Amino acid sequence: QKIAPMSLIFLTMNNLSTSIFLLMGLLSSLVGGWGGLNQTQTRKIMAYSSIAHLGWMATISSIMTNILIMNLLIYLITTTSVFLSLIISKSKTIQDTTSTWTLSPTLTIIMLLS
């Protein structure tokens, strides 16, 4: 989900003004944040989180490219750990994640930290 938008951001970064990138990042962060507030399904929460993080990355791209790449790598690592934790615990909703403490306290802590 991030490779294609990030390549578009890299290609257009020099052609668009900083204010357009900041506005695009702000709007994407707002839509992702507000959209994810009332969700109970973890897939929808992760989708809105992806939209919000894309906004943050667009904002960062206007500042410094090296920080953008570092942010993308950190995002990919944390998202992968969250998805693997959800797959292992077979959780589909927030209510399902409340029962993972009895299955594996370590997995629950990893999900919390990620």
User: What pLDDT digit, counting tens, does each position of 58-107 carry?
Assistant: 888 888 878 888 888 888 888 888 888 888 888 777 777 777 777 788 88
State how far the alpha carbon of 65 is from the alpha carbons of 22, 52, 101, in Å. Answer: 14, 19, 40
Range of the domain at 41: 2-113
Structural domains in the chain (count)? 1
CB atoms within 10 A of CB 19: 9
Q: Which two tokens stand for residue 29?
A: 């962060």
Predicted local distance difference test score (pLDDT) of residue 1: 67
Q: pTM of the entire structure?
A: 0.73
